[in-house]
Structure 1
Amino acid sequence: MNIGELAKQSGLAASRIRFYESEGLISQVGRQANGYRRYAPEALQTLQLIQSAQQAGFTLQELKALMPAPGEHKREELIEALERKIAQIEVMQAQLAHSKAQLLGVIEAVRAHPEDVPCSMGQKQVLASIKINP
C-alpha cells in the first residue's frame, strides 16, 4: 500500500509515518519504480504497536531497542522492558499520590483559614506546607 493508504488506515499523518521510518521503526518499506514508498501490510501492525507502546509510556528510543528485525524474536528482552516500565509507572503513581495528598492538605488549610483575612497573610504558610518529595 502507498503512504496515503497507510496514513488513512492508521489514522496517522504521512509525515509521522515517514518520521517513524527514518527512525528505523518501520522496516517494511519498498520503493516503486517512480520512487514512491510501498508499505507491506505488516507496516500497519507495526504502526499500531508503536502507538500502543507510546500510550503505555514507552519512548521511541525504548521502542527502537525492542523492535525485532524481521525473523528475530526478543521475548526475554521484551518481558524485562515491560517489567521495567511497570516499575516506572508504580514510582510515578506513588509520586502522584503523594502530590495529591499534599494538595488536599493545602485545600483544607485554605478552607480553614478565616475568609476575612487577606490571602496574602496565609499564603506563605500554605506554600511552606507543601513539601517537595525527593
Structure 2
Amino acid sequence: MKIGELAKRSGLSQSRIRFYESIGLLKMVDRRPNGYRTYPPEALVALELIATAQKAGFSLDEIRTLVPGDLDRWDHGALIPALRRKVTEIEELETRLAGSKKQLVALIADIEAKPDDVDCADNARRVLSRMLGADLGGHVGGRKRASRT
C-alpha cells in the first residue's frame, strides 16, 4: 500500500510515518522506481505497536530496541524484562504523583482556610511560612517552630 493509505488506516500523518522510517523504527518500506513508498500490511501492525508503546510511556529509543524490523523476530527474552521495567517506572511515577497531589490538596486547604480578618498578602505569607516550616522539618530560621497544639 502507498503511504497515503497507510496514513489513513493507521490514523497517523504521512510525515509521522516518514519520521518513523527515517529514525529506523519502520523498516518495512520499498521504493518504486518512481520514488513512491510502498508498505506491506505488516507496516500497519508495526505502526500500531509503535503508537501503543508510546502511549505506554516508552521512548522512541526504547521502542527501537524492542520492536524488530521483521515482526517474525521478536526477542522475547528482552521484551518481558523491558515491559517489567516500564511497569516499575510507572509505579514509581504514580507514587511521586500521589505525593504531589497530597501536597497540592493540603496547600489548597491551607489557602482556603484564610481567616476573615487576614488579607490575601498576609494569607500568602502565612501559607508560605507553613510551607517552609514543613519543608524544613518544622525548623524556620534555624529555630524549631512552636507547636500549635
After the TM superposition, which residues 96-107 of structure 1 pair with which residues of structure 2 at under 5 Å, given as runs? 96-107=97-108
Is 1:28 equivalent to 2:21 in the alignment? no
Instruction: Identify the structure with bigger relative contact order (alpha carbons < 8 Å, sequence gap 6+).
Output: 1
The answer to whether the Cα contact below 8 Å between 2:26 and 2:69 also exists between their aligned partners in 1 is no
CA distance in 2, matches of 1:29, 1:22: 11
CA distance in 2, matches of 1:12, 1:117: 55
Residue type matched to 1:67 in 2? Answer: V
Is 1:75 equivalent to 2:94 in the alignment? no
1:64 shift after superposition = 0.6
1:61 shift after superposition = 0.6
1:74 shift after superposition = 0.8
Deviates more, 1:120-129 or 1:75-84: 120-129
Unaligned runs of 5+ in 1: none
CA distance in 1, matches of 2:29, 2:97: 42
Residue type matched to 1:125 in 2? Answer: R
Unaligned runs of 5+ in 2: 136-149
Match for residue 9 of structure 1? 9
* TM-score of the superposed pair, with normalisation by structure 2: 0.82
Deviates more, 1:93-102 or 1:123-132: 123-132
1:122 shift after superposition = 2.2
Give the 3 Å change call, closer, same or farther, for CA 100–58 of structure 1 in structure 2.
same
- % same residue: 49
* TM-score of the superposed pair, with normalisation by structure 1: 0.91
Larger Rg: 2
Deviates more, 1:116-125 or 1:28-37: 116-125
- How many residue pairs get aligned? The number is 132
Give the 3 Å change call, closer, same or farther, for CA 69–7 of structure 1 in structure 2.
closer
Is 1:117 equivalent to 2:118 in the alignment? yes
Q: Could you report, residue by residue, the CA deviation over 1:48-70 in whole angstroms, capped at 9, with x for unpaired residues? A: 11111100000101001111242
Match for residue 140 of structure 2? none
Match for residue 85 of structure 1? 86
Q: Could you report, residue by residue, the CA deviation over 1:26-72 in whole angstroms, capped at 9, with x for unpaired residues? A: 11100112111010110000001111110000010100111124242
Q: Could you report, residue by residue, the CA deviation over 1:86-129 in whole angstroms, capped at 9, with x for unpaired residues? A: 11101110011001111111111112221341121121332352
Residue aligned with 1:84, SS: helix
